[in-house]
Structure 1
Amino acid sequence: QGIGFDSADAGIWSQAVLVGGLVIWLLTYLFRVGTHKMTYNQQLKNYEDAVLQKRLEEMTPEELAQLQAEVEEEKKS
């Protein structure tokens, strides 16, 4: 009503804006779910990467050589 609409039109337009915003938010949410860009997925990936990095840093040179040989064998298969 503050911008010149009567009460019926103001109600309709405010609901339209609310529903439009909700639809846009829902579409962005579904897009993030579909592309796995959710906060939880990103945190899980970061945690897994950090755990693997820590394990690699703790391995001895012999263990690293053995792991590399296993990886090479899998690539050949």
Structure 2
Amino acid sequence: MRRIDVIGIGIGIFAAGAVLYWAFQRFGLDSTNAGIWSQAVLVGGLVGWLLTYLLRALTQNMTYNRQLRDYEEAVIQKRLEEMTPEELEQLQAEIDRSSESSDS
């Protein structure tokens, strides 16, 4: 994420707080209660975002993890494509032997 993106998001959140404050005042709350409720909504949004972040981090479903997984799969696929048929047969035999030894 670039700095300008972070600045834009910060300004957007600040503007959202102002809009919420104005909306709560428009619906009849005094300035103190409008400020409290707009802050409560913003803090609730922050806690919600934090929970989704923690969920993605714990399940390893973040962008870096997906890119690493895709890269590893691409490397394995390329290595398999470069192997000769004899090497593929030898690899298959090794896999069969290891699966038989793990089954017993």
| Short-chain TM bin | over 0.9
- 1:13 Cα deviation (Å)? 0.5
Q: Which residue of 1 aligns with 2:68?
A: 44
Higher relative contact order (CA 8 A, sep 6+): 2
1:48-59 equivalent positions in 2, closer than 5 A: 48-59=72-83
- 1:4 Cα deviation (Å)? 2.4
Identity rate of aligned residues, in percent? 70
Could you list the structure 1 runs, at least 4 aligned residues long, displaced by more than 4 angstroms after superposition: none
Q: Distance in 1 between matches of 2:93 and 2:32?
A: 74
- SS in structure 2 of the partner of residue 71 of structure 1: helix
Which of 11, 18, 22 aligns to 2:35? It is 11
Paired positions, count: 77
Q: Distance in 1 between matches of 2:28 and 2:72?
A: 56
Unaligned runs of 5+ in 1: none
TM-score by length of 2: 0.71
Query: CA RMSD of the aligned region, Å?
Result: 0.9
Q: Distance in 2 between matches of 1:5 and 1:40?
A: 45
Q: Which residue of 1 aligns with 2:48?
A: 24
